[in-house]
Structure 1
Amino acid sequence: MKNKNTMAKRCVSLALATVMALSLAGCKAGGNDAPQPGSGTTGQTQAGGSAAGEKIVNIGVTNTLNTLNPLLMDGMEMNKYATGLMFLPLMELDGDMNFEGMLADSVTAEDDRNFLVHIDDKAVWSDGQPVTADDVVYTALRICSPTIGNMAMMYYVFEGVGDDGFVAEGADHVEGITKVDDKTVRFTTKAPMSLITFNSSYARYLMTLPKHVIENMSEQELMSDPWFNRPDVVSGPYKVTEFDRDHYVSYEANKDYWKGAPKIDRLNIKIVEGSQLYAGLKSGEIDVTQNTLSAIPLEDYESIQALENVTTSFGEPITNQSVFINTTSITDARVRQAMVYAIDRGQILEQLLKGYGEVSEGFLSSASPYFDDTITPLPYDPEKAKSLLEESGWDRNRTIKFSINSDDSTFVNAASVIAAQWASVGIKAEIQTMDINTLMANAAKGDFDVMAIQYTYPPVDPYADVAWLLGGEGSWTGYGNDKINEALSKVSLTDDVGQLKELYSIVDRQVQEDVPMFSAYIIKTMAGVNKRLVGARPSVYGFLNHVEQWDIAQ
């Protein structure tokens, strides 16, 4: 289990990136003064066409965008989806959270260390050249380059890659990523890995580049060449025409897309404030939003539901408002239990979230195939909380530091309720609001007693995040447990859903008992789509898998 634990601890860079992506859902870098596609400044309009008769769709998002370069990819889903429109990932999750082939038509396990990726025989680049194993091997080699220096992709798990995630400078191959034939690549890991983890952590994030187009670029050029912001050869349904990282990405259809020419001629991702989504959906300047990339404020839910031109839906509850307890600071499990018993989580869910979510215990929500619905959340019981505090000898004069994200307006309100309920049983808490970067820096230093943040544990493969957060010294919680470690060691060796459910149940039950963290609530987010837009079905996963089939109703 040593190698697997090492993997979990190294996953922190990706985990933190994911946390920040979700926690910043309602924030946008920069102002909103730049010209916006679809606003009339580029000659484009909302869905329904333009003066030229083109079909144009605007996707409204509130997440910022860092890069369109697959070699610089991190854990932020916004980057992944925007880039994946041009360079398909090998696999992707669909709306039912099953793995679906995108560039690959299959990924199979030869054994627990060797995985065969077969590229779809029909896959071709937009210039007509076939997508080959050489393209995949070339892309993987560049991801492992110490010059490019991308640690977030976590390729240290593969044979021939150092523990830092890189091959030797100037290396011309990766020992554990090899061509089998023109359409097949073998990935060999250093330690056993489940097929689920390979697909979730690697196949979903490897977006293959056209070797024949860029192979003569130096690695320094690969990091900054403007080609990546407007590539002329792609494997996906769209090509970028304009890119402003703080405001928008504009695409034109790849008419030679091998899965079929897109019906929508131009697609725009518009980065806006959450407060602008209602007005955009109402006017038609925004045609569709997605559940995790578009943070619609709760106060706008009813107004959007009332729009005659918009159909609304709710995604699976996957965004967890997690509350982490520094167990090196609050050492007695009875105190940590008392903190949960003292909170009326049902009241917070109904009054602040208007019932759009659920209360669960531990890491998993009802969206996960491993969710154990026999684990009953600790109830609101202030008398039980007082009794536990009395048993523990809790110092009622002590004040704990309760650190929260100032950008999360819903939880800022929830934190006030929680602090008041703690005070009623004898726990004094000072709420410290701060921006996300400060919160993350303090978390890394352990400079908090209790910290709350929105966190998504991938429903089909939460292993890396769970193992990190319960990884003992150096993790946010500082908590470790032998029973949990044993269960997690078995997680890496199986793809059996029933067995995984049993193993994650062991983890969540122990977490409920020792309380290194708890869930304040799990959010069920809204999405909206203009009724003129056909084939677009907002979902937590798989939203863009078949974007080429979207159309405008005539």
Structure 2
Amino acid sequence: MEKYRKIAGKCLAAVLSAAMALSLAACAGGTGSSESQSQSAKQEAAAEKPAQATGEKIVNVGVTGTVNTLNPLLMDGVEINKYATGLMFLPLMELDTNMEFEPMLADSITAEDEKHFLVHIDDEAVWSDGQPVTADDVVYTALRLCSPAIANTAMMYYVFEGVGDDGFVEMGADHIEGITKVDDKTVRFATKEPMSLVTFQNSYARYLMPLPKHVIGEIPEAELASHEWFAKPDVVSGPYRVTAFDKDHYVSYEANEKYWKGAPKIPKLNIRIVEGSQLYAGLQSGEIDITQNTMSAIPLEDYESLQALETVETSFGDAITNQSVFINTKNVPDQKFRQALLYAIDRNQILEQLLKGNGEVVDGFLSTASPYYDPSIEPVSYDPAKAKELLAESNWMPSSPLRFYIDSGDSTFVNAASVIAAQWAAVGIQTEIRTMDINTLMSTAGSGEFDIMAVQYTYPPVDPYVDIAWLLGGEGSWTGYSHAEAEEALSKIAVLSDKEELKEQYGIIDRRMQEDVPMFSAYVIRTMAAKNKRLTGVNPSVYGFFNHVEEWDITG
């Protein structure tokens, strides 16, 4: 199990950054001074007038999270950065709306065995200057992702042969032993430890966005992280190229008319970064055309108003964002006491009253959105009498109120935590709620100085292995929990790709969560998205949103 803990621990920064991006989405917004915000607003007004005002086809995508980078070499676990960058530089593979892997720049990825993967670049793939996308571009980009001069630790390339445990090659290295060119269109990736094809596709193929070696290959690697070329690249593989970028306010794009999958029908596209409270007004006025479920946090109080707009269509995505509650098993060591915590909560009441039914209740890590979800695992029902019975059977009772740490920026769960604490008190469990900002909460979680801690956490439905391996990693993980049966299941999951076999092993883990309760799900959120009815060729979706952006169009 140690090697899995090592992999999971290395992945934690990327995992948490993605989770935090979702947690913070509702309160994200511009952080500059009033003067700079005003100036930026004027720039936006000039660059991003709605299509109906100018007669020109322009689509504005409203998001509520900052875009920190458009450089493929600086990718992390934050999806908005990846999607905004992927409009210019296609990833090898992406998930589609059904959460199946869809070819993007690669037309196939296959496993030779448990340690060797072949990536074949689509024969039709070309850069916007007409040059073919080749294996050399993939190998060059991977080498730079492992450069200590660029120092990207989030991409986790330490899993490949020839890369150090720190994720880097030697300064000035000209190759990676485990990432090699087979022919002009094929690259072989060799891992140090066995890995499933699913994990390779989800953790690496979705985040590797090849760069044009023939254009930037001579730029010194020490300059690549901040080079001006990335602010306005002239050669791209994707449907759009950036024309202006303010990380707190907008990204503006123009169409790549030579896009090898077909010229986009929309000449200009903008990502507009706003606060969640501004989405309704933007959709109502037409200044925002579309939102996406995970990048655009529409406040719950605006749901009904949006649904009433005649010009807007609303939809709900899959339930993927888990309001997870983690119990420090070192501080709360008794199994029956932890079970009592779960039986004492009326989770369905919280779901209906606070989330207006927009979500679901599950036990364990996986929601119904996951292909490995086991419907035979019925969530523990609200049963205060059972909770009291378990407490009476328990050999442990805290000498002081349990410290219950929550994210102050998650207003819905701040309210839910008060309900939960009251329900715990009703069966005799005393807690003290402590609210703090997300960064302080993560620091507290890492230090282990908590009894119970809750945070929004998205377990990737198609490959939750890394997150679960970390959270069940024993001493040093948030829960401090480990179990031989769960460890055995994780060791099998690491190399499995068959859905039914994975479902069986994940089911073992979720049953252990229900039995031992080192964590539980308060609820899983199903978020709203919206689009202007004049926009065709797209429907908002949790995954695959930009996969066919070249087909988007405006009518009327």
Instruction: Please tell me the TM-score bracket, short chain as reference.
Output: over 0.9
Aligned to 1:96: 98
- 2:29 maps to a residue whose letter is K
Distance 2:541 2:324 in 1: 22
Q: Which residue of 2 aligns with 1:8?
A: 8
One-letter code aligned to 1:355:
G
Residues 36, 42 of structure 1: 8 Å contact kept: no
- The match for 2:471 is 469
Task: After superposition, give the CA deviation of every residue in 1:31-50 in whole Å (9 maximum; x if it has no partner).
Answer: 58245679862154224462
Match of 1:546 among 545, 548, 556: 548
Aligned to 2:29: 28
> What residue number does 2:382 align with?
380
User: What stretches of structure 2 of length at least 5 have no aligned partner?
Assistant: none
- Answering whether residue 46 of structure 2 is matched by residue 42 of structure 1, we say yes
Q: Is the 8 A contact 2:48 2:270 kept in 1?
A: no
Counterpart mapping for 1:469-508 below 5 A = 469-508=471-510
Partner residue of 1:302? 304
Question: Using the alignment, how far apart are the partners of 2:125 and 2:276 within structure 1?
Answer: 37
- Alpha-carbon RMSD across the aligned residues, in angstroms, is 1.4
Residue number in structure 1 paired with 2:59:
57
TM-score by length of 2: 0.97
| Equivalent AA in structure 2 for residue 452 of structure 1 | A
- SS of the aligned residue for 1:42 comes to helix
Task: Sort the Cα spacing of 1:49 and 1:253 in 2 relative to 1 into closer, same or farther, 3 A.
Answer: farther
Write the distance in 1 (CA, Å) between the matches of 2:128 and 2:259.
6
Q: Could you say which residue in structure 1 is the equivalent of 2:199? A: 197
Q: Is the 8 A contact 2:44 2:250 kept in 1?
A: no
Distance across 1 between alignment mates of 2:47 and 2:339: 59
Report whether the alignment pairs 1:150 with 2:152: yes
CA distance in 1, matches of 2:511, 2:345: 19
Matched residues, percent identical? 70
User: What residue identity is the alignment partner of 1:487?
Assistant: A
Of 348, 363, 366, which aligns to 2:365?
A: 363
- TM-score w.r.t. the length of structure 1 is 0.98
Secondary structure, counterpart of 1:11 in structure 2: helix
SS of residue in 1 equivalent to 2:62: strand
**3-state DSSP of counterpart to 1:224:** coil
The match for 1:459 is 461
Distance 1:178 1:145 in 2: 16
Using the TM superposition, give the Cα deviation of residue 227 of structure 1 relative to its aligned residue in structure 2, in angstroms.
1.2
Distance 1:494 1:40, change over 3 A: closer
For 1:223, what is the secondary structure of its paired residue?
coil
Residue number in structure 2 paired with 1:335? 337
Separation in structure 2 between the aligned mates of residue 283 and residue 201 of structure 1, nearest angstrom:
39
- For 2:224, what is the secondary structure of its paired residue? helix
Contact 1:49 1:55 in 2 (8 A): no
Report the count of equivalent residues.
552
SS at match of 1:529: strand
Contact (CA 8 Å) 1:38, 1:58: kept in 2 or not?
Answer: no
**Aligned counterparts of 1:43 and 1:12: Cα–Cα separation in 2:** 38
Residue 258 (structure 1) aligned with residue 289 (structure 2): no
Q: Is the contact between residue 61 and residue 293 of structure 1 (CA under 8 Å) also seen in structure 2?
A: yes
* 1:393-404 to 2 correspondences below 5 Å: 393-395=395-397, 398-404=400-406
d(CA) in 2 for partners of 1:25, 1:40: 21
In structure 1, the residue matched to 2:240 is 238
Decide whether the 8 Å contact of 1:36 with 1:270 is kept in 2: no
Correspondence list, 1:489-528, <5 A: 489-528=491-530
User: SS in structure 1 opposite 2:271?
Assistant: strand
Alpha-carbon shift at residue 389 of structure 1 (Å): 1.3
Moved over 4 A (4+): 34-40
CA distance in 2 between partners of 1:47 and 1:402 (Å): 49
Partner AA of 2:240 in structure 1? Y
Contact 2:243 2:254 in 1 (8 A): yes
Distance between the aligned counterparts of 1:2 and 1:443, measured in 2? Answer: 21
Superposed displacement of residue 4, structure 1: 3.3
- Counterparts in 2 of 1:508 and 1:243: CA distance versus 1, 3 Å: same
Structure 1: 5+ residue stretches without partners: none
Shift of 1:226: 1.6
C-alpha displacement of 1:396? 6.4
Give distance in 2, aligned partners of 1:91 and 1:497.
Answer: 19
Tell me how far 1:277 sits from its aligned partner.
0.6
Structure 1 residues 40, 196: closer, same or farther in 2, change over 3 A? closer
Counterpart of 1:446 (choices 430, 445, 448) is: 448
Q: Which residue in 2 is equivalent to 1:427?
A: 429
